[in-house]
Chain A
Amino acid sequence: MRQIRLLGLAFLRLFAIALSLIAGLGAFVLFLQFGDADGLDALDVIRALLILISTLWLAWGAVQALIGLTSRPRAPRYDPLKPIAGRTVILMPVYNEDPLATFSRLAAMDASLKATHDPATVHFAILSDTRNETVARRELTMFKHLVLDCDGLGRFFYRRRENNTGKKAGNIEDFFKRSGAAYDYAVILDADSLMEGQTILALIRRMEAKPRMGLIQTLPKVIRARSRFGRAMQFSASFFSPVFARGLAMMQGKTGPFWGHNAIVRVRAFASSCGLPPLRGNPPFGGHVMSHDYVEAAMLAKHNWMVRLDDDLEGSFEEGPENLVDHAKRDRRWCQGNLQHSRIIGAPGLKAWSRFVFAQGIMAYISPLFWLGFILASIAAPLLAPPTNYFPEPNWPFPYFPPSEASKAIGLFIGIFVLLLLPKILIAAQAGLNGRAKGFGGAGMGFVSTLSELVLSSITAPIFLMYATRSVMQVLMGRDGGWPTNNRGDGTLGWGESLSASWWIVAIGVVGLAATWAFAPGLMLWLLPVGVPMVVAPAILRWTSLPSRGRIMGVPTEYAPAAVMQLHDAILERWTVELEAARDPSEAA
């Protein structure tokens, strides 16, 4: 039985890879035929190779969605009523966060756990790496408030590190080294994570049901988005991501993903497998591992612990960036972390799938460079191409006009668009048919939201392309990014902020379109969808950061907030009033 399962898994993985390869090779051949119309040159071959890699990567995402569409999430076998024997700690690492917002999330999760009336032992530990002394003082005050409010003496803990060596990974590692033996399981959160008590208990029971289980990752849904950009991300994470994640889950075997938060780990497994030393050399490629989660998942799998994505579990939430600039800042960090994995991919003893996952992560960040390379090479191609020879046969009086292969280029263009759009349209259709769209305002509204998301992501794609390219180049040159800071709580960007974050994109867009007009006017129409959003990038940054209301891109948690979200809202409101009342009048003055 086990062998049949392994065979099935190998077949599915090979099938997915083969399908992506076929799509990539198809694009490669089509482009070569197109380029051959006026004689094949080196630039044609380079462009064909760039389109091969880019299409292969697009197809890999599409295949994952198609696999995800063929099945539904299923709970693994376990007894949901079995008494929990192990001790669990919920870890919330914080770093200069607003203590009112973060600590009230812990209070909400505690209230949600209490509401289950389950006698399981679940403690909470706030692991502070905060450097700002004012925030640190507020953390202490809020911790006392939290302990009092939740009757949490002996269950809630707080510690602040003197130095934040190793960042979040070092923070968690410090906890395991200091207190790990007190617990069997640890639920690792982010400062913006929120989980239902029932979800936490289900995670613990699933760990207890499988003694070789090292880590279970949930699929967190984005909540509380307010801006146009934030709500589009929220809709995408809620509507499309479960299907992509399903595809991933079908191919994961025992080497599933870890995304760094909203997951449970077996403390013994994690401590014995995931001690990560700094990499040789200096950052960005050396030093402490930045995207530690992928590495920890790989190390657990290497030591024969199971790592699994349980995408059937609901009640797991996180918050996301509200504007493109904040998203780009986060992506800059992830980009460096993923490129750093190029040093780890060859580590001895890793499972083949773990290496493949590292390669995927690297590819996710360098793929925009292939698109950009293709565009630049296409603009340069007419300059470098030899003049067309209309009289290839000596002494032949009539000119020879090479046949147009524009149909090949159009076919390729359509194929790429199908790879980009089809998965999302199929997901919307399936959601309409199986009733999942009801939570999104119905089948019609689900479809309208899908189209809106497609339009918005198409408009913002060239801006993402530029930010991603800049991130990769900065990492390759060993530099840190100098991102403008967004200081507003609601994420709205002013004109000044938008302009300072994107003037260089505008400049590149203007130069790119001018160069196309001058050297390759035939490409102008093709490049306008890329060039125009770049030229108007400041307006896009600002417009997408503005507050959004209405039913388009509505998600289930907007129509009916989850129980733990309601608990959090109530606690946050009550604490705000209590803290305001308790504030020293002289301080208020």
Chain B
Amino acid sequence: MTDVRQGEAPAPDIPRTPEERAAKVRDMSPADLAAGPGALPDAPMPMPEQVIEPARSLIARLAASLRILPRPPAAPSAGNGL
């Protein structure tokens, strides 16, 4: 029988032998198992939200270009000589 996975050291709270592990699992209720050693590892990773749609829809941009809709305000000028 393989260990937790060959080459990988088991986590500190995981018994070392298959028999001990099986005994530990048998002693737990399914809910306790899922909430305890079967819960996802706590290793957060940021997942920043991306921009996935244009600020204005294609129709709105077309309408603005035809002056049917007001154009969005332009960025303020950086000033003369810049």
Contact = CB atoms under 8 A, between A and B. Distances in A.
A160 B41 CA distance: 14
B22 interface: yes
11 contacts: A122-B5, A153-B14, A154-B14, A154-B37, A157-B38, A178-B42, A179-B40, A272-B46, A275-B50, A276-B49, A344-B52
Given A180-B44, A273-B50, A343-B53, 11 more contacts: A144-B28, A156-B38, A157-B39, A179-B40, A179-B43, A179-B45, A181-B43, A182-B43, A277-B49, A344-B53, A349-B51
A347 B47 contact: no
For the complex, would chain B's binding face be called helix, strand, loop or mixed by DSSP majority? Answer: loop
Given A119-B7, A155-B4, A157-B40, A147 B48 contact: no
Interface residues on B, range: 35 or more
For the complex, would chain A's binding face be called helix, strand, loop or mixed by DSSP majority? Answer: mixed
Contacts of B44: 177-181
A51 B40 CA distance: 54
Interface string A271-313: 1111111011000000001000001000100000000000000
For the complex of A and B, 5 pairs with smallest distance between CB atoms = A180-B45, A119-B7, A182-B43, A140-B30, A181-B43
B31 interface: yes
Contacts of A176: 45, 47
Contacts of A178: 40, 42-44
Interface string A171-213: 0010111111111000000000000000000000000000000
A143 B34 contact: yes
B2 A151 contact: yes
A223 B25 CA distance: 34
Interface of A: 114, 117-122, 125, 140-141, 143-144, 147-148, 151, 153-160, 173, 175-183, 267-268, 271-277, 279-280, 289, 295, 299, 343-344, 346-349
B46 to A, nearest CB: 7
A416 to B, nearest CB: 31
Nearest to B34: A158
B25 A276 contact: no
Contacts of B53: 279-280, 343-344, 346-347
A143 B5 contact: no
A274 B30 contact: no
Given A148-B22, A156-B38, A277-B52, A177 B31 contact: no
B26 interface: yes
